Every structure is written in C-alpha cells, then in structure tokens.
Amino acid sequence: MLTKFFFMLRQGGMNPSITELLTLLEAMKRGVAGHSVDDFYYLSRSCLVKDESKFDRFDRIFAEHFQGIEDALNPLTGQLPDDWLQKQAELYLSAEERAQIEAMGGFDALMDALRERLEEQTERHEGGNKWIGTAGTSPFGAYGYNPEGVRIGQQGSRHRRATKVWDRREYRNLDDSVELGTRNIKIALRKLRKFAREGAADQLDLEDTIDKTARNAGLLDIRMVPERHNAIKVLLCLDIGGSMDDHVRVCEELFSATRTEFKHLEYFYFHNCIYESLWKDNRRRHAERIPTAEITHKYGPDYKLIFVGDATMSPYEIVYAGGSVEHWNEEPGAVWIKRLLNVYPKSIWLNPEPEKRWDYTPSVKLIRELMDDRMFPLTLGGLDDGIKALH
Amino acid sequence: MLIHDMTQMKFTGTKSYVATDDLMMAVNAAITLERPILIKGEPGTGKTQLAVEVAQALGRPLHEWHIKSTTKAQQGLYDYDAVARLRDSQLGDDRVHDIGNYIVKGKIWEAFASDETPVLLIDEIDKADIEFPNDLLQELDRMEFFVYETKELVKARHRPLVVITSNNEKELPDAFLRRCFFHYIKFPDKATMEKIVDVHYPNLKKSLLKEALEAFYKVRDVPGLKKKPSTSELLDWIKLLVAEDVPAEALRAEDSRKAIPPLHGALLKNEQDVHLFEQLVFLDRRTNSR
C-alpha cells in the first residue's frame, strides 16, 4: 500500500528516496504514529517532504491516494477530451488562402468566443471553420491556420503564431554537458568574473607571515587570508519551447559555459515572456513552478540578471493580461519584466536571433524598449557588449 | 536499554512552549528513530527555542552550536591548534610532545562525550558555506568521527538528538535532507497564538489580548511589508503594552485618529515599513471620513 503511495509521490513530481520510505516504515513499526490518519499524515510528511513549498503538492497526492480524488494534479487534461485532439488530418493552405483568412477582431473577442464555443460544442470536430477540432480554419484548435488562433492539443508550433497553447508539452530539458564549441563563449564570460576574498581565513598568507614574524623578533606569527573565489552572482532566465526550438543548441552552449564560470548561478526557464511563475526543471514545468515574486525575494539585488530568448512572440503576450500562450496571466508580461528590472538593475537580454532581423518583429522592439536597449545578440561581440553593460 | 529509555520520552510541549500536533509528531519521530530533525520557518516563530524546550522537557543537557558564515564543519568536531604548538616548541614548553594538548574539542565532540543522551542544536545551518551540511553527513549518520592527529575514533556515547534550524537562505543538499526529519513551523493561527500569549502572560486581561491580537494580525496583513512582525515581536509588544499599562480601548482601530497602534515600533522594525503603514492608515482615514 505504501509502495503505491510512494510511486504516486514520485510521479507527482516529489522525489522521496527509498531511505526516506524505509525511515517512515521504521517509524511506523516503532509506533510513533499511533493509529489515527492525522498522525500518519504528519509523520509521513515529516519523513518524505523536506521542502515546505512542496507541502501543497504532497497534500493533494495524499488526498488523492487516501480518498481517491481523481486527477488531483491535472485539472486541465480532464477538461479537453483526448480524442478531439488527436492528429487526424493535415490541411495545407496556399498563400492566397492564408491571406484570405482574417483575424477575428482582437484578443478579448477571441477569448470570449473560445469560452462560448467550448460550452456550445459537445462533439469531436475535424475540418470546417467554426468548431474546435483539428486541421480546420477556425481560430480554435490545432494543425490549421488562422494567424490569431488558439492552439489546442498540437504537438509543436506549426506556424509559430498561436496565442494559446493548452497542450501539456514535454519540453526537452536543457542539457548542460555540451562542452564542444563553448570555449569562445567561456572566454567572453570570463570578463564577468570579479574575484573577491570572502569567507573564512583559511589560507596561509606567506608574505604577511614572514613580515609579521620578523617584526615579532622571530617568533612565528601566522597570517591567514580567505580563499579567493568568484563572487559574481548570476540569475539566468532561459526561454524554452515555441519559437526558441531552433536556438536551443546555442542556448545549451551558453548554459554549459556559465555553469562552470560562477559560484552562484541560478537558472530558471520561461516560455516567450516572463509571468508570475518560472520553472527549474523543464520536464516538470507544469507541476513545479516557482513564483517570480519568490525569486526576487530570495535573490538580492547584487545578482546580475541575464535573459536569453528570441523575444519573438505575439505582442499580446507582452502587453495584455491573459496574453500568455500557456495559461491565464493576471498581469501582462511587461509588468513582470519591469518588476524584475526594478529589483535587478544590472540586467541584459541576449537574443540568439541575428540583430538585423530584430526590427521586423514588433515584440523584439517592445522588449528592447522595456530593457532600455540592453538587448545584445548571442555572439561573441554581443556578449562582450552585454557584459560591459552588466558592470 | 537507552533506546528503550528514549522511546518512553514523548515531547508534548512545555509550560512555556506551545507545540502543535505536527511539530510534536516530527520531534517524537526524531527522538524515537534517533535521526536529526530539521526545523524551518519564518524568523521569530521559535525554531531555536524548540531545542531549548525539548532539552528541558526531556531533562537532557543541551549543546548549542551557532553557525556563522565563517563556520567550518571541522570546527564542530575539533580544532588542531597548530600555531599554539609551534609557539610552544619555540619556547621549549614540555606540553609540545603530546599532540593531544592542542586538540580543542568542538560542539559535536562535546555532545558525543556527554554522560547522558544530549540534545545538540545546530542553529541556522544555512548561514554557513554551501558544502557545510555535506561535510557533516557521515558524522551525523554514524555519530562518530576520526581524529587524524591522535589516531583516535570518537564515538558518541549516546546518540544525541540533533535539532537543526534553517532560515532558508541557502538550499540544503538532498543527501543531507534525506537523513533528517523535516518540520516547517508555519505562522500560528489566532487560536494557537492565543495559547502562546497565554503561556507567556497568563494574567493578561482577555479584552487586551483580543484587541492586541486583532491589531497584530491587521498589521501582518498589510501588503508589501518588508518584514512581517512575528510571534516573538508580538510577545515583546504585549510586554510593552502591559508595562505601559495601555488600556484595551486604545487598541481599537475604530477611533480613526489613533488608528496606528501604540508602541508600534515593537512590531515594525523597518523604517520603510513604518512609513508604508502610516501612509496606508492615512489613506484609510481619508476614505472613511468621506
């Protein structure tokens, strides 16, 4: 019985270890918990969960296991039947046909229409131009084409313009083991380094020792200094998924380079734009989100903030509440970016997209304005300039 | 036999410490299984106090090890004062031949050498270097360590109850967490808070307590405070209220001219917070007077 609970916890994104399970079993054997469910709850929580931010998740899984509440973790998947979303047909539109399709009067109208249609529609739908389904030209659904469409149940962006993704996509976790080709970037990042002496005095300062001993009439006077280490602290926010898929390799290189360069490096992922929460593990991005406010509270203003992203998105995603393609955001992305910039005055945005193309994308312009023009291309030269801006 | 002895001991809070059910469960599990317990929580919710109270309740000696940013794991075990030995050798002191003379015991060693099962408090472990907890894994697991200078194995005579507190300034390593029981002291609700105040000020007038708590939670609810007042600050504040003999009526916020609670300096420790609070009260007063 507990084994099942244990694996449910692991599936739910907590990672209790076998030793912890054994500890719990031993504690139960020794009668620590008595016989009430409350006692067992407290005991198992104390044994298996070591982070108060995971208490809530533990509570839900506990409830699911012991009361059989279905699908406690996935409220969304329950709402959209799977077979609607299966890829059944492909629809190829010519350039003229695409030009014929008009956007449906603004973002709010789009969301209202989706809500209405979700209520109206009760069957699976394919093709056509109104109902939500696959391969049609309605603004809702997947594998079709409508420039202001809301994407439902599609495995990747086909035209990279959709304004809502309901899919729970498994993004590839950024791998930081790529070493080849990172040398160039590493050299540039060295400029970021600032050596400082910090911490306990635990190294012999030979020169000072000789000097002080001499002054002390030959009686030994040992002098110590703290170890030298890199005092620079960096918060790295990486865009992942969507239009960034092409740039993932470049980002991976940057990532594996920065890992080895700083003592304090915290990295977070976002999708297209920053909102109220970020995540650390891309495979668990839907389950384990960290509130952005918590990040600004935890990491002080002495951290330097580096965004990496192509800033290519629908402008809705930056300036409108509810503009995110993944979820309903109460406040627009611009507000969150400004908030972060207030806390971290030293910040830059690195853009893997070539600089000459920036002017053609309105969202890049918006982000550049937000960043006070501190956007730099992800090249050696760009990194050089960016690092100068950070100092 | 000692294990048996320990399992009989149950911690149920003390006269001066209110323990919630989940806290008692975590502490008792740690006592029974002789594993360390890690306590986290907002500052001022009594994390450090817990170790003191547990030691007192169980009648065990307490060894406190307060961690600073410069503390090294080795210092908890022992220090080899090589410099003193070098000096002695230059001065021709006889002590120099016994290296044991220069081994200074750390807090963990002291606890290991204790005659009865002690309580060992490792306070604010997150203040130290990131590697600090990892350096103590083996010592806390096996409750033994090796002194290389004297080739001596120091083994705990009785496995101490290790209480570790953390303020969440740094993340602790997984390997370390796995070996501990964990408890997060959440901020007490009103009912628990009444009990806590009652334990500290048993003769407090009911009316004053009610008004004080109301005002206190109101201050805590002010959005955007840099540092929310905690339990220990509430207790200090009530002490002041009693000392100044402030009547319960003065705490009532209905009188808008006196909406800032008296002696609020005990609750708000940050100039900006006081300023923010005064502004909010001012705004509130304006909207009310319209």
Mean pLDDT check: name the lowest of A99-103, A192-196, B118-122. A99-103
| pLDDT score of A293 | 87
Q: Is the pLDDT of residue A252 over 50?
A: yes
Which of A20, A46, A202 has the CB atom closest to B26's CB atom? A46
- Could you report the per-residue pLDDT of A208-237, keeping only the tens digit for each? 888 888 787 777 788 887 766 666 788 888
Q: Which residues of B touch A199 (CB under 8 A)?
A: 69-70, 129
Nearest-Cα residue of chain B relative to residue A42 = B22
Q: Which residues of A touch B165 (CB under 8 A)?
A: none
| pLDDT score of B108 | 93
| pLDDT score of A158 | 40
- What's chain A's average pLDDT? 69
Q: Is the pLDDT of residue B109 over 90?
A: yes
| pLDDT score of A153 | 44
Which of A165-179, B116-130, B226-240 holds the top average pLDDT? B116-130
How many CB atoms sit inside 10 A of residue A344's CB?
A: 19
Asked if residue B239 lies in contact with residue B196, where contact means CB atoms within 8 angstroms, the answer is no
Question: What is the separation of C-alpha A96 from the centre of its chain, rounded to a whole number of angstroms?
Answer: 38
What does the pLDDT average to over B25-36?
89
Contact A23 B33 (CB under 8 A): yes
What does the pLDDT average to over A337-358?
86
- Could you report the per-residue pLDDT of B217-271, keeping only the tens digit for each? 888 887 777 778 888 888 888 888 888 777 777 776 555 445 667 777 778 877 7
Between chain A and chain B, the number of residue pairs with CB atoms below 8 A apart is: 72
Candidates B4, B10, B25: best to mutate against A (most CBs of A within 10 A) is B25
- Could you report the per-residue pLDDT of A124-153, keeping only the tens digit for each? 444 444 544 444 445 444 444 444 444 444
Do the strands B103-105 and B78-80 form a parallel or antiparallel pair, or are they unpaired? antiparallel
**Angle at CA of residue A29, ends A23 and A33, nearest 5°:** 85
Contact A27 B22 (CB under 8 A): no
Q: Is the pLDDT of residue A197 over 70?
A: no
Q: Which residues of A touch B182 (CB under 8 A)?
A: 45-47, 49-51
pLDDT tier, A270 (very low <50, low <70, confident <90, very high otherwise)? confident
Q: Is B193 helix (H, G, I), strand (E, B) or coil?
A: helix
Q: Is the pLDDT of residue A207 over 70?
A: yes
- Could you report the per-residue pLDDT of A321-340, keeping only the tens digit for each? 887 877 788 888 888 888 89
Q: Which residues of A touch B (CB under 8 A)?
A: 17, 19-20, 23, 26-27, 30, 32-33, 38-39, 42-43, 45-47, 49-52, 55, 199-202, 219-220, 222, 298
Distance CA A288, CA A279 (A): 6
Percent of chain A with pLDDT over 70: 57
Percent of chain B with pLDDT over 90: 17
Asked if residue A173 lies in contact with residue A240, where contact means CB atoms within 8 angstroms, the answer is no
Task: Please state whether the predicted TM-score (pTM) of the whole model is above 0.90.
Answer: no
Q: How far is B209 from chain A (nearest CA, A)?
A: 30
Q: Which residues of A touch B164 (CB under 8 A)?
A: none
Q: Which residue has the higher pLDDT, A288 or A351?
A: A351
**Angle at CA of residue B174, ends B170 and B179, nearest 5°:** 110
Q: Is the pLDDT of residue A263 over 50?
A: yes
| pLDDT score of B285 | 66
Which of B32, B40, B86 has the CB atom closest to A52's CB atom? B40
Q: Which of B216, B241, B225, B236 is nearest to B279 (CA)?
A: B225
pLDDT tier, A172 (very low <50, low <70, confident <90, very high otherwise)? very low
Which of B7, B35, B183 has the CB atom closest to A23's CB atom? B35
Interface of B with A in 165-224 (CB under 8 A): 168, 172, 177-184, 186
What does the pLDDT average to over A95-104?
46
Q: How far is A167 from chain B (nearest CA, A)?
A: 32
Q: Is A164 helix (H, G, I), strand (E, B) or coil?
A: strand
Contact A32 B28 (CB under 8 A): yes
Do the strands B161-166 and B181-185 form a parallel or antiparallel pair, or are they unpaired? unpaired
Candidates B3, B182, B183, B185: best to mutate against A (most CBs of A within 10 A) is B182
Contact A38 B35 (CB under 8 A): no
Exposed, middle or buried, A105 (CB in 10 Å: 0-12/13-18/19+)? exposed
Q: Which of A168, A314, A332 is nearest to A243 (CA)?
A: A314
Which of A23, A43, A199 has the CB atom closest to B70's CB atom? A199
Q: Which residues of A touch B72 (CB under 8 A)?
A: 200, 202
What does the pLDDT average to over B262-285?
75
Interface of B with A in 28-57 (CB under 8 A): 28-29, 32-33, 35, 38, 40
Give the number of residues written for chain B.
290
Q: Which of B268, B189, B190, B186 is nearest to B222 (CA)?
A: B268
What does the pLDDT average to over B153-181?
87
- Could you report the per-residue pLDDT of A292-313, keeping only the tens digit for each? 888 888 888 888 888 888 888 8
Sorted by sequence, the CB contacts under 8 Å of residue A109 that are 6+ apart come out as: none
Contact A46 B182 (CB under 8 A): yes
Distance CA A290, CA A276 (A): 8
Q: How far is A27 from chain B (nearest CA, A)?
A: 6
Sorted by sequence, the CB contacts under 8 Å of residue A328 that are 6+ apart come out as: A322
| pLDDT score of A27 | 87
Q: Which residues of A touch B180 (CB under 8 A)?
A: 50
